[in-house]
Amino acid sequence: MNRCVFIMFSLLLLTTTTNQSVPVGGDDNGGVNMKKCLDNEGHALLLFKAHLQDPDDTLSTWTADQHDCCKWRGVTCSTQTGHVTELYISGCGLGGEISRSLFNLTYLNFLDLSTNSFHGTIPTFIGYLTRLSYLNLDSNNLNGTIPRSLGSLTELTFLNLNFNSLSGTIPPEFGNLTNLQRLYLNSVGRCRVEKIEWLSHLSHLEELEMDGISLAKAEKWVDVILSLPKLSWLRLRGCELSQVMYPYSSSFLNSSSSSSSIESLSLQNNNLTSSMYRWLRPLTSNKLLGLDVSGNMLDGIPKYLGNLCSLEDLSIYNNSAAVKFPDFLNNLSGCTSLSLQSLYASHSQFTGSLSDEIQKFLSLESLYLSDNHLNGSISEKFWELPRLETLDVSFNNLTVPSTDHMSSLSYVKEIGLSSSQLGPCFPKWIHTLKSLTLLDISNTGISDTTPPDFWDMWPSQLEYLNLSSNNISGSVPDLSSNFASGSVIDLSSNRFYGPIPKVSSGLTSLDLSRNKFSGGVSFICQIVDGLLYFLDLSHNSFIGQLPDCLWHFKQLKVLNLGHNNLFGSLPPSIGSLIQLKVLYLYKNNFFGELPLSLKNCTSLISMNLGANKFSGNVPVWIGENLSKLYVLILRSNKFFGTIPQKLCRLANLQILDLSMNNLNGTIPSCLSNLTSMLQQGGFSQDVQLNTTYRAYEYKQETYVDHAMIEWQGDEREFVSILKLLKIIDLSSNKLTGQIPHVVTNLSDLVALNLSRNALSGEIPQKIGEMKKLLTLDLSRNNFSGGIPSSMSQMSLLNDLDLSYNNLSGRIPSSTQLQSFPPSRYVGNRGLCGPPLNKKCPGDEESESPPIIGKSEGDGEEWGWFYIGGGMGFATGFWIACGALLVNRRGRRAFFHFFDSFKDWVYVKVVVFVSSLQKDDQGRRYGAQDPSNKNNVCSFCG
């Protein structure tokens, strides 16, 4: 080779190499760093690190000992100059403020601090790093306003401020970012756009997200969007678009076509009505692939949407206006019917039937129509769709006929028919669903046995199976062969029986509750993949000990073994459940002391160990370690000793039930430290349960707000209203001493039961200040003295028992205290006055006092009042029932609401009826208490 040519070739190769930047830690392709990190920039990075919290030691390589910062994690330098050009430390768990020391990295062109916990404001100095082309501050805790200086970053092509807590106006200086291609301002906080004209300068913009930013004052925003020639992705969800008075100019009012380049458009949750279709048309063209208009108030769709020949995905779920589904399909039946692949229309107001019009949508792969008002029989044409893979028509009023057409569904992967009419026979067409991964046929009226081959039809394939709330019987031979890793199984509320031999090792959720299963529970030891977060075996006939294999379940959040015949001591491995939030072992035969390892379950919110045979002292570590508890139920066991003072540390506690044990000593005065019982409001936590099927999440989260409670003499199961209940029950023990006066400070308490103890002394004089008490039971103790006059102020009290004590004196006069039957005061020889027949010294010998203000016509007036009230009630009742009979969605919503809030309604009705009775009693006794006005509903209001 010619020597000159060789030299020129070598120089060219060297030039090419030195113009490259080195990735993190050097050149992975075998190159070497030509320049080391500059000292001042390395020092700047060390100062940046010094201001941060780094719990995972992610920046462990950032040390002064390692002089070349170009080898530090997340740092990239130019091999030509040695300047730091890129800083990438996303998702490292870092916290603190963004240090000003980064200002010294003047050659930085790439900065990614996303998915950390940075707080404080966005530093103004970032706007002076003018070489930046990429800036990502997504998913932090940044607050304050967006600095106007960011408008100086004219080289930016990418800007992401998503998911922070910013406020104020989006700076109009953003209009200077003329090279910007992607702008993400999604859920940045409480921000707004005053004038949107600046956006029209971003001619290179391809993607724009502004979810949650108020555009209420952004007049003619549609014109601005149309001026962006390259825009293909637009998300304006929750932007108050319905408040814009003039969203467009008059120039395209009569436009019949669109040159818009938008391929994906989301206008979700803007309270838009169908008047939006006038300005939507110019934004839609045959380039549009996806359209989301969910969460609005649309009473239909225009026919021009049926002519979008490229539209693949259409979302119109959570729509609050009634739409006839056949008309909806008809308006989409242009060329859109040939391109549409996914239709998301759940939780809306669709009416009518699944008509034959559906057969035109030959490309349809996914159809979500759950929670609507659809009725009638599903058209046979529906089962002929050649590409359908996902179908969810749950919670409608549909009948699923069993026809030969069902055999064509062999390619379907997900099918949800919950609350449809399938039964009474188990549907045979399920055998044809060879590709199935999700099956929900819960509450479908099936009263049959499962076919013998049902449990091995989908080898290692099913991800979700829900047969709950039917009347299905039979044994369950194998729960392992069908199911893939991470699967969910719900067989609850049926008549399955027999033992469980096998389960899948990779289950995430297993609900076998309310059946007739028997045998041991050692099968749970087969779930070894560590994915299980929900386990409910309650209300069965399981017997035996709880096996010591719970260390597999470090993700478990809900464990319900209640209402079985399990016995033995709790295994030490229960302490491995470090994520457990709900532990429900009610009504079994467990015995022995609680294992010390249970104190490791520091995430516990609700612990119900009642109706067992646990013994020993109430553990001190409950108050020391389980600080998140809001429900603690140890009732009906064999605990002894004193009530530990450490329980008073449970500031979140709302339900404390230690009744029916052998506890002695005094009531701790520190109970006044239970601050949740001192203030309004209550439990607001929930359990985050990630499921593959959203309809299942609610069922699981109700376990967090669930308890079996002794309420006014009856054992009741409360669901979804525990935040309203604040209860202390120490009854049926051997407690002695007086009631601590500080207990009366628990002003938000609704039930206090200290009955069947050996308590003595006087009832605290300030007990009447506990004005939210609905239930007060102090019976069968040794209390003496008089009934405090302050109790006449307890306007909500509807259940009182002071019987069998040593009380004396006159029962204070009030509409409350005289309304209770005499049996609530018996066993107190010294008590006198109404409602007891015993008169107090000095009482007149006359008969019962006259009723104030009663006239001869009163009886007749009250008679007509009751007749009119009864007729009104009957009329309203049948109007409501008639509406429910013809409205499937309304009927389901009503009973769902009733199941979730029946106890809340119960409490309100008890209070209201009780107040009416007391008013009537007050008239009879002449006891008028003005303080009772406007207090009847204060508990639930």
Give the per-residue pLDDT at 410: 72
List the one residue out of 175, 170, 59 whose CA is nearest residue 113: 59
Beta bridge partners of 509: 488, 534
550 vs 407, more confident: 550
Query: How far, CA to CA in Å, does 71 sit from each of 33, 66, 636, 648?
Result: 10, 8, 64, 53
* Token representation of residue 788: 């405090």
Give the per-residue pLDDT at 863: 43
pLDDT in tens, 315-345: 999 999 999 999 999 999 999 999 999 999 9
Lowest mean pLDDT among 152-161, 244-253, 354-363, 403-412: 403-412
- Average pLDDT on 804-825 reads 91
Give the per-residue pLDDT at 711: 64
* Token representation of residue 198: 């600046």
pLDDT above 50 for 2:
no
Give the per-residue pLDDT at 434: 86
In sequence order, what DSSP letters do the residues of 220-260 get, joined into one string? THHHHHHT-TT--EEE-TTS-GGG-S-SS-GGGTT------
Q: Decide: helix, strand or coil at residue 409.
A: helix
pLDDT above 50 for 12:
no
Q: Decide: helix, strand or coil at residue 769.
A: helix
pLDDT above 60 for 375:
yes
- Average pLDDT on 714-738 reads 80
Give the per-residue pLDDT at 87: 96
Side chain identity at residue 345, one-letter code: A
Work out the burial of residue 714: count CB atoms within 10 Å of its CB; fewer than 13 is exposed, 13-18 middle, 19 or more buried. Answer: exposed
List the one residue out of 509, 462, 521, 472 whose CA is nearest residue 493: 472
Lowest mean pLDDT among 217-231, 731-745, 827-841, 874-888: 874-888
> Given pLDDT bands bounded at 50, 70 and 90, which one contains residue 927?
very low
- Average pLDDT on 153-168 reads 96
List the one residue out of 272, 267, 275 whose CA is nearest residue 291: 267
pLDDT above 90 for 500:
yes
844 vs 683, more confident: 844
Lowest mean pLDDT among 248-257, 481-490, 684-693, 733-742: 684-693
Query: How far, CA to CA in Å, does 821 sit from each of 565, 830, 851, 904?
Result: 40, 17, 20, 25
Q: Are strands 373-377 and 662-665 parallel, antiparallel or unpaired?
A: unpaired
Work out the burial of residue 117: count CB atoms within 10 Å of its CB; fewer than 13 is exposed, 13-18 middle, 19 or more buried. Answer: middle
Q: Which residues neighbour 537 within 8 Å (Cβ) at sequence distance 6 or greater?
A: 510, 512, 513, 517, 521, 560, 561, 564
888 vs 282, more confident: 282
Lowest mean pLDDT among 24-38, 98-112, 852-866: 852-866
pLDDT above 90 for 544:
yes
Are 429 and 453 within 8 A, CB to CB?
no
pLDDT above 70 for 706:
no
d(CA 356, CA 344): 19
Give the per-residue pLDDT at 408: 65
Our separate counts of H helices and E strands in the chain read 10, 56
Q: Name the region of 477 (left: φ>0; alpha: ψ -120 to 50; beta: rest).
A: alpha
> Cis link prior to 247 (omega < 30° from 0)?
no
Give the per-residue pLDDT at 253: 55
d(CA 495, CA 454): 16
- Average pLDDT on 53-70 reads 90
Work out the burial of residue 275: count CB atoms within 10 Å of its CB; fewer than 13 is exposed, 13-18 middle, 19 or more buried. Answer: exposed
Beta bridge partners of 21: 78
Average pLDDT value for the chain: 84
Q: Which residues neighbour 371 within 8 Å (Cβ) at sequence distance 6 or greater?
A: 346, 347, 348, 394, 395, 396, 889
Write down the pTM of the prediction.
0.79
- Average pLDDT on 59-65 reads 91
Give the per-residue pLDDT at 11: 36
> Given pLDDT bands bounded at 50, 70 and 90, which one contains residue 4?
very low
Give the per-residue pLDDT at 404: 59
List the one residue out of 653, 657, 656 whose CA is nearest residue 675: 653
Lowest mean pLDDT among 4-13, 97-106, 200-209, 745-754: 4-13
Tokens 């169908």 found at = 274
Q: Are strands 534-536 and 558-560 parallel, antiparallel or unpaired?
A: parallel
Strongest mean pLDDT among 87-96, 251-260, 382-391, 904-913: 87-96
pLDDT in tens, 595-623: 999 999 999 999 999 999 999 999 999 99
- Average pLDDT on 337-355 reads 93
List the one residue out of 315, 419, 412 whose CA is nearest residue 368: 315
Give the per-residue pLDDT at 405: 61
Side chain identity at residue 673, one-letter code: N
- Average pLDDT on 119-141 reads 95
> Given pLDDT bands bounded at 50, 70 and 90, which one contains residue 716?
low
> Given pLDDT bands bounded at 50, 70 and 90, which one contains residue 578?
very high
DSSP code of 764?
A: P
* Token representation of residue 207: 């993607």
Give the per-residue pLDDT at 65: 86
pLDDT in tens, 479-493: 888 899 999 999 999
Give the per-residue pLDDT at 712: 63
- Average pLDDT on 901-907 reads 51
For helices 888-925 and 858-886, angle between their N-to-C axes, nearest 10 degrees: 170
- Average pLDDT on 273-294 reads 93
d(CA 862, CA 854): 11
- Average pLDDT on 505-526 reads 95
Work out the burial of residue 229: count CB atoms within 10 Å of its CB; fewer than 13 is exposed, 13-18 middle, 19 or more buried. Answer: exposed
- Average pLDDT on 703-707 reads 58
Give the per-residue pLDDT at 428: 84
* Token representation of residue 293: 């208009």
d(CA 506, CA 496): 22
Give the per-residue pLDDT at 920: 46
> Given pLDDT bands bounded at 50, 70 and 90, which one contains residue 6?
very low
Are 315 and 346 within 8 A, CB to CB?
no
Q: Decide: helix, strand or coil at residue 198.
A: helix
pLDDT above 60 for 896:
no
Give the per-residue pLDDT at 814: 84
pLDDT above 60 for 94:
yes
Give the per-residue pLDDT at 613: 97
Give the per-residue pLDDT at 257: 54
Longest dimension (CA), the chain: 138
- Average pLDDT on 274-284 reads 92
Number of other CB atoms surrounding residue 851 within 10 Å: 11
Give the per-residue pLDDT at 784: 95
pLDDT above 90 for 680:
no
704 vs 916, more confident: 704
